A and B are shown apart, each in its own frame.
Chain A
Amino acid sequence: MGFIYTLRVLIKSILVLILWSKCEGRESEFNYVTCGSLVKLLNTRHNVRLHSHDVKYGSGSGQQSVTGVESADDANSYWRIRGKPDGTCQRGVPIRCGQAVRITHMTTGRNLHTHHFSSPLSNNQEVSAFGENGEGDDLDVWRVQCDGSIWERDEAVRFKHVGTDAFLSVTGEQYGNPIQGQREVHGMSTANQNNYWKAMEGVFILPSQEPLRHHHEEL
C-alpha cells in the first residue's frame, strides 16, 4: 500500500514537472545580437554597464559623457546597434564578427564616439556620445571583435574603434559628484581583460520573413 502510494506521488510529480516545464512560455533559442537590437553592454571585468546621460564632460571635448554604472535597471544604459550610414545592415540579421557598427544611445540619440582627446581621470582616450538623432560623423564607427563568425549573446566581445584603433575599455577609475560612483569609460590601444563587453538586457530583433508576395486580394 505504501509502495503504490509513493509510486503514484512519483508519477504525479514527474507529470507536473513535464507540464510545468512546457508552461514556462517559449524559451528563446535565438542567441545572437542582430541589427537594430537594443542592448545593455556589461563590462565583464568591472561589472558595470555602458551608460550615458545628458551630462557633458568638464574637460576634453566637452561633449556628452559616457560612463559605466553598476545598476541594472537604468533606461539610460540602453544602446541600439545599427549599421554604418550606407545602410548595409538589415533589420534582424545577426551581426558578424568584424562587422562595423554604430552604437546609438537610446534616450539621447547620440552615437558612441571617440577621438584624440584625453579622458578626465586616467588620461586615456576620451569616449563620448556625439551627434543628433543618430547622425554623427565618421568617428562613430566601431568594429565588433569576437571569436567565431557571429556576435553571440553569451559571448564577451571587444569594440575596436575604426579611425583610432582604440578598444572600448574600463579600468575602474570612479567619478565624484554629480555622477558619484560611475566609472570612467575610455579608449585604450591594448587588447586586454578590460575591454570585454557582453550583451545583457535588451530587445533583440529576430529576422523577419519577407512580407508576402502575392496577387491582389479581392477588393
Chain B
Amino acid sequence: LSQTPGCSVGFLKILTPSLIFTSIYRRDFYKILGVSKSASVRDIKKAYRKLALQLHPDRNQDDPTAADKFADLGSAYEVLSDEEKRKQYDAYGEDGLKEGHHGSHNDIFSSFFGDFGFMFGGNRQGQQDRNIPRGNDIVLDLEVTLEEVYSGNFVEVVRNKPVAKEAPGKRKCNCRQEMRTTQLGPGRFQMSQEVVCDECPNIKLVNEERTLEVEIEQGVRDEMEYPFIGEGEPHIDGEPGDLRFRIKVMKHPVFERRGDDLYTNVTISLVEALVGFEMDITHLDGHKVHIVRDKITKPGARVWKKGEGLPNFDNNNIRGSLIVSFDVEFPETQLNDNQKEGVRAILKQASVQKVYNGLQGY
C-alpha cells in the first residue's frame, strides 16, 4: 500500500524498537499516556496535551528516540480518544485495530496548539529576527464556571478561517514610494514620487475549517490566555497571527474565589446558633462538605475547612481552603411576657449595653 501524501501511516515507526515503548503492535497506549484503563476522554485529552508539549521532537533535539515516542503518543491518543477504536483496542490489543492509522499526528497536535504550535509554549522564537509580517491576533473571551475551574474541562471549537492559497497569475506586492528622477532636457531634471511594486505569486483566500480543543485547566485564573499559534488572521505577505482564548471566570451564586480559597455564607437559625447543628455543603463537583457545631455559633463566626478550596494552578495536588461564614436569622414572631421570662431564665446573661464607636475599631 503506497503512502498517501500528507497522511503519515507510521508503519516504519512501528518497526523501530525503542526503550520505553515496545515494538510492533504491542504498545500499551494507557501506559504511554499515563492514564488508568478507566480514564475518561477528558483525562486522556489532558494527559495528551501535557505530554505532547514535553515530548515534541523540536524540544528534544538531543534524543534520537524522540520522534518515536512522539509518534507513539499520537497513536495512543488517536485510539483512546475514539470510542470505537478504544473498544477494539481494549478487547483485542493493537493487533485488533483496523489497518493503519488514518489521522496525521500533526493534525492532532495542532488541534490542541494551533498550526505552528510546535513553537512551544506560544513563543514565536526567531520571529523578530526575520521581520516576517504577521496577520492580526484574535482574542476570544472564554467564560468559564467555577465548577470548571475546580474540575477542569475541555471546550471544543470549530475554527473557520481564511487561508492564503496560491492562485494562477501574479499580483503586486511590497509596494513602496520611490523617488524617480526624469530628465526634461539638457541639465534639467525633475524628481517625482512614484509607487513601485514587486511581482509576487498571486494569492487568494480560501476558508478552511478545523476543530480545536481548549483545555480549562484546574485552578486556572482569570485573564489567563491559551494561545493557538497560527490560528489567527492570515497575512498575504507573511504568516498568520494567533488565536488566543482569554479565560473569564464567572461569578458563582454560592462560592466566591479568592486565590485558591473559596468563601461562602450560611444563614442559620437563632436556635441552631445557640444549641448547635449539623449540615452538608454541596461542593462544586457534587461532593459534600460536612459541618458539625456543638458549641454556640456567633454571627460572623467562621469555619475553616482546609483542602476544600480550589486546586492550585501550578500544582493541582495543593488545595486552598473553604471558609464558611455564618450569620444568624432571628425569629420573626414577637415573644410574649411568659416567653421573655423563660428566655431570661435559660440564658442567665446579664444586661450588657456597651456603647462604643464600632466604625473605628474601638
- Contact residues of A with B, CB < 8 Å? 12, 15-16, 19-20, 22-23, 25-28, 30, 36, 38, 72-76, 78, 80, 91-92, 106, 134, 200-206, 208-216, 219
Binds A, one of B121-129, B155-163, B183-191, B270-278: B155-163
Residue of A nearest to B107 (CB): A25
The answer to whether the Cβ of B6 comes within 8 Å of any Cβ in the partner chain is: yes
Partner of A208, one of B7, B9, B104, B153: B153
Q: Contacts A22-B102, A25-B107, A208-B154; is A75 near B2 (CB within 8 Å)?
A: no
What is the size category of the interface that chain B forms with chain A?
Answer: 35 or more
A19, B102: Cβ atoms closer than 8 Å? yes
A19, B4: Cβ atoms closer than 8 Å? yes
- B140 to chain A: which residues have CB within 8 Å? 38, 80, 106, 203
Q: How far is the CA of A202 from the CA of B162 in the complex (A)?
A: 9
A74, B136: Cβ atoms closer than 8 Å? yes
**How far apart are B212's CB and chain A's nearest CB, in angstroms?**
8
Q: How far is the CA of A25 from the CA of B155 in the complex (A)?
A: 18
- B147 to chain A: which residues have CB within 8 Å? 210-211
Q: Which 7 A-B pairs have the closest CB atoms?
A: A75-B136, A23-B7, A211-B151, A213-B286, A22-B102, A206-B156, A204-B158
A75, B287: Cβ atoms closer than 8 Å? no
**How far apart are B244's CB and chain A's nearest CB, in angstroms?**
11
Listed A/B pairs (21) with beta-carbon separation below 8 Å: A23-B6, A23-B7, A25-B103, A25-B104, A30-B158, A38-B140, A73-B233, A74-B233, A75-B241, A92-B155, A134-B141, A206-B157, A211-B145, A211-B151, A212-B151, A213-B286, A214-B151, A214-B285, A214-B286, A219-B307, A219-B319
- A12 to chain B: which residues have CB within 8 Å? 2
Binds A, one of B13-21, B67-75, B84-92, B202-210: B202-210
- B57 to chain A: which residues have CB within 8 Å? none
A212, B40: Cβ atoms closer than 8 Å? yes
Q: How far is the CA of A19 from the CA of B2 in the complex (A)?
A: 11
A204, B104: Cβ atoms closer than 8 Å? no
The answer to whether the Cβ of B328 comes within 8 Å of any Cβ in the partner chain is: no
A211, B157: Cβ atoms closer than 8 Å? no
Q: How far is the CA of A212 from the CA of B141 in the complex (A)?
A: 23
A208, B156: Cβ atoms closer than 8 Å? yes
